[in-house]
Structure 1
């Protein structure tokens, strides 16, 4: 029987957290400690949520009390906050940790406690500090060995609830039969693509524009694409949402940011990741090995009847999702210089993956 995720003492903004609150959090998670003082500093580069590292000093602590923990909170930027609420991202992430992280098999941070107000979208998510592991970087990409590790984690996540009908009853998981219709309508997608073209036109290649025109006018076909086996998917499976070990230590890879968790086609996660995390030449050379590795990972978890031809068909959709995420997110979250570069990188690499795998031909 898995241990339930504990509740945080109450719901607070990061600036309102004090030593007594942190003591209650840790003790509620079974840590015998009393926090005397702490320092708090922003960490990470999230677009929709803000993360803060709390370095702890104790009045008393048993062995194993953490030197620091990381809290995640709603974005302080109004546009990003409204996007997180509109898309259900905040509720979805907290509920993932509460209900699915214990059985999802994928490597996630240990969670000390959560608090959530579904009506307002306010939340607290307090997790282990994964340092000296470091956050991945979409703009730098990953090594082939790191890509292998991520593919292994994808197989664990997807295999954990492969074809699990019970997931269909979870209304907070995107794509289930119980979930409400998505907030993204064809009209919204078309309008955001037009706005993206106007903002970034000088940075766009002709081939990318062609992909955008076809995808934005066939969004309904994209949402209906594929009828393959269903499983838990991350839906924003990229280096910025992962922590990787460094020479100083840390877990090999840990997957973060479960704001978009869905019940859908697992291979799309794999395509989404490889499209943006490797250069096109690296990806093309490594795809046969990595797709075979992913399939073997599924088989090791008891998944049967999923063949390479079906995997390749489903995998082709990953580049389209990466492209869509890039222009959609760019227009609904806080704009930054790094964000501009990241979204252009995602868009271009997603377009090239879609072209390489003739993904546009699958849109109705």
Structure 2
């Protein structure tokens, strides 16, 4: 079977995959067949577990995870505008090799800054299961999650390289005017589900959001890499 250069093929959906492409991307032997299963509940992107079958009983990863941009045009445009896709792709290609913690091996990255089309093919943690932030976590799982977050952040605290990287430090589109609108919609929907004390804390943050951002980004403040979306639904 002839292998293909992964960079020659645009992967937007699992249907774009071929055994030849997977053979070249994973690099663990000739892939003869594969399966695809949607996992997770991402809004800005979609994840699929790709099952791999190899020729001649070769011993390669049994599964891999494919992550691509959301099918929904509005979600995709939001992910593109916020720089989420670029940051995720560049994290795996430029940052992950310097970090500790259980970070998945990355087989392939691609990103089109014009369309928002991106693809990540990474190692799977099967048989681990996706977390559920509605159900919650055990104390043991929560402690493990915080420990691994520390291993992720610690190696690059104070890194001049990342502090000066444009793609990590662009001005945030989030400001007090926008968060005021978002909070109003949140209160309309969930206001009865939170306590007066919780509502007071939220309102104080909203009312002082621009000042909070200015303080957090002031010169001399410690700089570090922040995960940005560390929640159970994003964990295995």
- Report SS of the residue matched to 1:94: helix
2:108 & 2:7 partners in 1: Cα distance?
A: 5
- Report SS of the residue matched to 2:30: strand
2:131 & 2:215 partners in 1: Cα distance?
A: 30
TM-superposed CA distance for 1:129, in Å, is: 1.6
Structure 1's unaligned 5+ residue stretches are: 1-5, 174-178, 244-364
Structure 2's unaligned 5+ residue stretches are: none
Report the TM-score, using the length of structure 1 for normalisation. Answer: 0.58
Query: Which region of structure 1 is more displaced relative to structure 2, 109-118 or 203-212?
Result: 203-212
Q: Is the Cα contact below 8 Å between 1:9 and 1:25 reproduced in 2?
A: no
| Change in 2 beyond 3 A, CA 1:9/1:54 | farther
Q: Is the Cα contact below 8 Å between 1:8 and 1:25 reproduced in 2?
A: no
The answer to whether the aligner puts 1:232 opposite 2:225 as a matched pair is yes
TM-superposed CA distance for 1:171, in Å, is: 1.2
- 1:81-118 deviation digits (Å, cap 9, x = unpaired): 12211110010000000001011112211111111112
1:205 & 1:86 partners in 2: Cα distance?
A: 34
Report the TM-score, using the length of structure 2 for normalisation. Answer: 0.87
The residue number in structure 1 matching 2:76 is 81
TM-superposed CA distance for 1:71, in Å, is: 0.1
1:98 & 1:8 partners in 2: Cα distance?
A: 14
1:204 & 1:155 partners in 2: Cα distance?
A: 30
The residue number in structure 2 matching 1:242 is 235
- Report SS of the residue matched to 1:39: strand
The residue number in structure 2 matching 1:189 is 179
- 1:12-70 deviation digits (Å, cap 9, x = unpaired): 1122222222122123xxx2x2222222110112222100111122234532x111211
Q: How do 1:1-364 residues align onto structure 2 when only pairs under 5 Å count? A: 8-14=7-13, 15-27=15-27, 31=28, 33-60=29-56, 62-63=58-59, 65-173=60-168, 179-226=169-216, 228-243=221-236
TM-superposed CA distance for 1:228, in Å, is: 4.7
1:156 & 1:238 partners in 2: Cα distance?
A: 16
2:56 & 2:24 partners in 1: Cα distance?
A: 13
| Change in 2 beyond 3 A, CA 1:134/1:158 | same
TM-superposed CA distance for 1:185, in Å, is: 2.3
- 1:101-143 deviation digits (Å, cap 9, x = unpaired): 0111122111111111122221000011211111222122222
